[in-house]
Amino acid sequence: MRRLLAIFLVLYPLTVFAQAYELEYRYRPYAVVNNRIVALQKEEGSPVASPFSSSKTRISYQVKGERAAARFASGATLMFVVQLEKGVDPDDVIKIVRGKEKGDKRRFSFFLTGQSRSDGYPVAFTIHRISEDVYEIRLPGRMEKGEYAFMPMSESSATGGGGVAGLARFVTFGID
């Protein structure tokens, strides 16, 4: 009986929590802090010319400001949630990158081709489906200090559409 009660006490809050997500916008990640949804700041980035080799095509965006408004401790387990359209594979649209700080700006880059692990830009994370169209994103517990951004995501990015030439909006956060 105790074992059954223990299982219920572990699983019930997760089920209720998953069903309780009422996210205002699709394709916009939200932080989960103390079982509460927290909207992250969306910041505009402008494209920046960046060097590239024949095997890589790097796209860089510059975001104004030294630091993101949302800050998390480096040892904290970070969890985010995002709501997508039905039938969209989250692996196709969710990308997190670590930025480089340059004075009062941050630069976020990603590679269109030839990406390698040594580049240091992509951040590893796990994705779990928690309801019909809501996904949980978990980052490792020991993140390097710095600035991070969710790359712009939309249904068009899942199907290969959408441009990268103009202004883009990034959901940013920082690790202290």
Kindly state the helix (H) or strand (E) to which residue 58 belongs, with its residue range: strand 58-64
Per-residue pLDDT reduced to its tens digit, 58-69: 778 889 998 999
How many whole angstroms separate alpha carbon 75 and alpha carbon 171? Answer: 21
Q: Provide CB contacts within 8 A for 165, sequence distance 6+.
A: 47
Measuring CA to CA, which residue among 103, 94, 102 is closest to residue 149? 94
- pLDDT, averaged across the chain: 77
Residue found by looking up tokens 């219920």 in the block = 8
Give 81-108 pLDDT, tens digit per residue: 999 998 889 988 898 999 988 888 998 8
No. of helices (H) and no. of strands (E), the chain = 3, 13
Other CB atoms closer than 10 Å to residue 109's CB: what's the count?
Answer: 19
Tell me how far apart the alpha carbons of residues 108 and 168 are, in angstroms, rounded to a whole number: 11
| Full domain range(s) for residue 33 | 2-175
Q: Taking the model in full, what pTM does it have?
A: 0.76
d(CA 44, CA 42): 7
Neighbours of 155 (CB within 10 A): 16
For residue 79, the 8-state DSSP code is: E
Task: Give the mean model confidence (pLDDT) for residues 111-133.
Answer: 71
Per-residue pLDDT, 120: 44
Residue 127: beta bridge partners? 137
How many distinct structural domains can be found in the chain? 1
